[in-house]
């Protein structure tokens, strides 16, 4: 099933009984969309490329700025002023030339967002603003995809995964991102440029997004669907909250009237 080269390259994870050769083949066939190639997208994309996720799409319309380099570890000093998605793709292919990386060098919205989500198996929201988060959530709901969402500010990070795939085994509809953060109740918040961010905190969350993605693709363990995981870098504490679906959520209740 795997060629010798792949068997050696991915040997340390193939040895995990939860992954094995079958899981590795699933990773090589998987299609993952990363919305945003900043502090979260950097570690997420690096780990997914390293693990041999075969088809990555990196979307980001921004250029690398010197103030990004403190935490957006996929970039090098010489990448300044380059488009992030293009620079990230180049580094991912240096890391693993066996995979395919496609670049969307613009902000994903509307029809292009819908198209890219429809072609992906799993979508990672690595963006930094509510408008994009709501749009990505809506597109994942519409196309019944898995969404792995991360966020970080100052010393705090959050992670939550949403399973919008149709499944007769599901007992109840899970929440969507907008059940958790209803639109209109949250002003465009502090962002990293105004509030600050400890670099390793986005590293932790982006790495967890990659871990969740690898688990979901291979079927290993239990992804934290419907659970908000909150990390405090000052105390090193994780908290976990069950998030129920909001029956009045304007986004997901219309999908399941």
Q: How far is the CB of 167 from Zn ion (least distance, A)?
A: 17
Q: What is the DSSP string of 16-79?
A: STTTHHHHHHHHHH-EEEEE--STTHHHHHHHHHHTT-SEEEEE--PBP-GGGTTT-TT--GGG
Nearer to Zn ion, 103 or 179 (CB): 179
- Build a one-symbol-per-residue string for 175-214: x at contacts with Zn ion by CB under 5 A, - elsewhere: -x-xx-----------------------------------
Catalytic one of 140, 192, 249, 252: 192
Whole-number Å distance between alpha carbons of 120 and 127: 17
- Build a one-symbol-per-residue string for 109-148: x at contacts with Zn ion by CB under 5 A, - elsewhere: ----------------------------------------
- Concerning whether 140 is annotated as a catalytic residue, the answer is no
Q: How far is the CB of 116 from Zn ion (least distance, A)?
A: 21
Nearer to Zn ion, 108 or 179 (CB): 179
Write the secondary structure of 112-166 as one string of H (helix), E (strand) and C (coil): HHHHHHHHCCEEEECCCCHHHHHHHHHHHHHHCCEEEEEEEEECEEEEEEEECCC
Q: How far is the CB of 139 from Zn ion (least distance, A)?
A: 14
List the one residue from 34, 92, 148, 252 that touches Zn ion (CB under 5 A). 252
Nearer to Zn ion, 134 or 155 (CB): 134
Whole-number Å distance between alpha carbons of 250 and 257: 10
A 10 A CB-CB count for 183 gives 15
Give the binding site for Zn ion (CB under 5 A).
176, 178-179, 249, 251-252
């Amino acid at each position: 099933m795997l060629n010798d080269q792949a068997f050696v390259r991915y040997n340390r994870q193939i040895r995990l009984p939860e992954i094995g050769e079958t899981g590795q083949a699933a990773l090589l066939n998987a299609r993952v969309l990363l919305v945003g190639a900043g502090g979260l997208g950097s570690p997420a994309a690096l780990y997914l490329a390293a693990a041999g996720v075969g088809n990555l799409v990196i979307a980001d319309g921004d250029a690398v700025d010197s103030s990004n380099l403190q935490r957006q570890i996929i970039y090098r000093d010489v990448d300044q002023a380059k488009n992030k998605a293009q620079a990230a793709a180049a580094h991912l292919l240096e890391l693993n030339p066996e995979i395919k990386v496609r670049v969307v060098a613009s902000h994903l919205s509307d029809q292009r967002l819908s198209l890219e989500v429809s072609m992906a198996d799993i979508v990672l929201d690595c963006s930094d603003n509510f408008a994009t988060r709501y749009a990505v959530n809506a597109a994942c709901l519409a196309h019944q995809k898995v969404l792995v969402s991360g966020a970080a500010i100052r010393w705090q990070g959050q992670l939550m995964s949403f399973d919008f795939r149709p499944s007769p085994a599901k007992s109840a509809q899970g929440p969507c991102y907008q059940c958790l953060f209803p639109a209109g109740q949250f002003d465009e918040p502090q962002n990293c440029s105004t509030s600050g961010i400890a670099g390793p905190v986005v590293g932790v969350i982006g790495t967890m997004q990659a871990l969740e993605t690898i688990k979901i693709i291979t079927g290993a363990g239990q992804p934290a669907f419907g659970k908000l995981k909150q990390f405090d870098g000052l105390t090193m504490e994780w908290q976990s909250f069950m998030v129920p679906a909001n029956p009045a959520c304007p986004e997901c209740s219309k999908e399941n009237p």
